[in-house]
Amino acid sequence: MRQWFRAGTCLPLLALIAVCALVAACGPRDAGGPGAFTPELISTAAVPLSESEEVALLADERTACVIDSYEGQVRCVTREGGVVGVFGREGEGPGEFIDPAYLSRGEAGTVGVVDSDLGRFTVFEPSGAWVSDVMLPEVFQPFQSFGTAISGVALDYMVMLGRMSGSLMTRYDVDLASGEVVGQEESPPGPWDIECGQVIHGIPDPAGGWAFVACEGHLIFVGGTGEATVLRAPLYVPELPNEQDVARTEEELLALNRSQGLPRTPATDEALERYRATPKNYYLRTGEQVFDAANRYWIATQRDQHEWSWLDVYEDAAYLGSVRVRDRLRAFDLLGSTLVVLVDRQAGPDDGDGIPDRALDWYDIADLPFAR
């Protein structure tokens, strides 16, 4: 059976800012482009504000889970807005978290949580009932779903920063019953013909290949036999961050300082100014890439992101079209005919604090025009 894959969340923020500096400035262009499709919105559900940008659509296609970073908990809700379960507390025991960082969908209707501080993967019922846990390889970022094993990738930061050569990613398969690593595969090492020279992150596809994001809007698709196609995303034109982007990055930098017990520092302001002056990446975050059941590659982009956001879709290293969703996309997941999107709403006159509300939107993608 084909497995869907999803990398984890983003690289450390300062590393991403450094990578962003490789991108050249250019002017804006129409965000829609050819093949734009707006799916039917099925329903929406409010979720708490959070520094986490993770969502897992569970196997029933009607329940999704998010991480509430401020409470250190996982919240699972139905698409009608009903709360199925809220679980987790600070600690190192069963069902407890130090740093819940990633979510993954269980094929049996469960949800898995990676605690990056404890190096542990815990399986729960969506109600919050503890099922099992297992230790993971270091810096493990899970794929979109799991069965009797949990699979994921680890990034070699030294390779990413250009300080050594070799494979950028390593895939691991960990048996949930024994905790043993039952599979390990390094990503193709390249090099590939990219003028800007920076490959950033990759995920394996179900057919045995890999897909990588790189600097200046480049994508690299490597087939199962090792042949590589390098292309620049057709709709990528670098644009400078808007004020909402800057405000969000400022909060992320300050949150990083708080987590380390530091006040705002001159280095924080310098990093923020570099970000303000640097065109945004093509991709939203390294974690927001998915291969679907038809082996189509979906990637969340940084185009527009004001009233609308865009996911680009590729097949066999060719651009198929874009899917438009409302508001500011932060994360997505998909299964069958359902797309669920974690968004920040646009702050309106009723938002006295000026902080956008956060919500999950469910879309029906059964009529995707470029589906097989």
Question: Cβ of 175: how many Cβ atoms within 10 Å?
Answer: 14
Q: How many residues does the chain have?
A: 372
Q: Are 214 and 198 in contact (CB under 8 A)?
A: yes
CATH number for the domain spanning 16: value is: 2.120.10.30
254 and 119 inside one domain? no
> 178 with 251, same domain?
no
How far is the C-alpha of 64 from the C-alpha of 309, rounded, in Å?
20
Q: Does 137 share its domain with 261?
A: no
Looking at residue 5, what is its pLDDT?
43
Residues 194 and 262 in one domain: no
* Pair 230, 257 in one domain: no
101 and 246 both lie in a single domain: no
Rounded CA-CA distance 67/289 in Å is 19
Q: Which of 117, 109, 106, 68 is nearest to 88 (CA)?
A: 68
CB atoms within 10 A of CB 89: 11
Residue 372 lies in a domain: no
Quick one: 152 and 268 in the same domain?
Answer: no
Choosing from 222, 252, 276, the residue where a domain stops is: 276
Both tokens of residue 302? 């940084």
Terminal Cα-to-Cα distance of the chain (whole angstroms): 18
**Alpha-carbon gap, residue 324 to 300, rounded angstroms:** 10
CA 306 to mean position of chain CA atoms: 19
CA distances in angstroms from 201 to 19, 156, 157, listed in the order given? 11, 10, 10
- Residues 74 and 93: their CA atoms lie apart, in Å, by 16
User: Do residues 62 and 85 both lie within one domain?
Assistant: yes
Residues 62 and 198 in one domain: yes
Give dist(CA 203, CA 167) in Å, integer.
12
Its pTM stands at: 0.86
Task: Give per-residue pLDDT as tens, 113-164.
Answer: 999 999 999 999 999 999 999 999 988 999 999 999 999 999 887 666 666 6
Q: Is-contact 221 209, C-beta < 8 A?
A: yes
Helix (H, G, I), strand (E, B) or coil at 267: helix
Q: Which domain holds residue 246?
A: 242-276
pLDDT, position 355? 74
Q: Where does a domain end: 251, 276, 301? A: 276
Assess if residue 371 is contained within a domain.
no
pLDDT per residue of the chain (372 residues) written in tens, 0 to 9: 333 444 444 444 433 333 333 333 333 334 556 679 999 999 999 999 998 999 999 999 999 999 999 999 999 999 999 999 999 999 999 999 999 999 999 999 999 999 999 999 999 999 999 999 999 998 899 999 999 999 999 988 766 666 666 788 999 999 999 999 999 999 998 888 888 878 889 999 998 999 999 999 999 999 988 899 999 999 998 888 888 788 878 888 888 888 788 888 888 889 899 989 988 889 998 889 999 999 999 999 999 888 899 999 999 999 999 999 999 999 999 999 999 999 999 776 666 666 789 999 999 999 999 865
Q: Is residue 40 a contact partner of residue 241, using CB atoms and an 8 Å limit?
A: no
- In terms of DSSP bridges, do strands 218-222 and 120-124 run parallel, antiparallel, or are they unpaired? unpaired
- Total domain count, the chain: 2
Cα–Cα distance measured from residue 196 to residue 176, given in angstroms and rounded to the nearest whole number: 40
Residue 208 inside a domain? The answer is yes
The pLDDT of residue 2: 32
Q: Are residues 93 and 19 in the same domain?
A: yes
Judge whether 179 lies within some domain: yes
Structure-block tokens of residue 72: 């250190």
Same domain, 173 and 262: no
> Does residue 152 share a domain with residue 184?
yes
What confidence score (pLDDT) does residue 158 get? 67
